[in-house]
């Protein structure tokens, strides 16, 4: 008697799991702060600083929003 039940359980896992951000980002607009938090950052400022951008510079803020959009978030 061989127990093959454990070997098949891993084959049913999804190789490309979808995150909540990927599921909702195409239909629901979110704030940059909410998107940054969904990615694990404290807030949008921390997200910007991670990319060498600054909240006080309007061009940097737009660049940060564009990064979020490229990652699949719909930000306002």
- Token match 């909410």: residue? 34
pLDDT of residue 73: 94
Structural domain boundaries, residue 72: 22-76
For residue 74 the two structure tokens come to 């719909």
Q: Is residue 8 part of a domain?
A: no
Q: What is the pTM of this model?
A: 0.63
Q: Is residue 32 part of a domain?
A: yes
* Backbone dihedral angles phi then psi of residue 30, each to the nearest 5 degrees: -135, 160
Q: Is residue 39 part of a domain?
A: yes
pLDDT of residue 29: 72
pLDDT digits (tens, 9 = 90+) for 39-62: 999 999 999 999 999 999 999 999
Q: Is residue 33 part of a domain?
A: yes
DSSP-derived secondary structure for 15-57: SSPPPHHHHHTTT--B-HHHHHHHTT-SSHHHHHHHTT--TT-
Number of independent structural domains in the chain: 1
């Amino acid at each position: 008697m061989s127990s093959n039940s454990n070997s098949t359980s891993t084959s049913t896992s999804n190789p490309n799991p979808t995150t909540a951000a990927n599921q909702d980002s195409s239909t629901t607009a979110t704030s940059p702060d909410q998107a940054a938090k969904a990615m694990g950052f404290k807030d949008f400022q921390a997200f910007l600083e991670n990319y060498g951008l600054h909240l006080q510079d309007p061009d940097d803020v737009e660049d940060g929003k564009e990064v979020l959009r490229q990652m699949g978030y719909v930000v306002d």
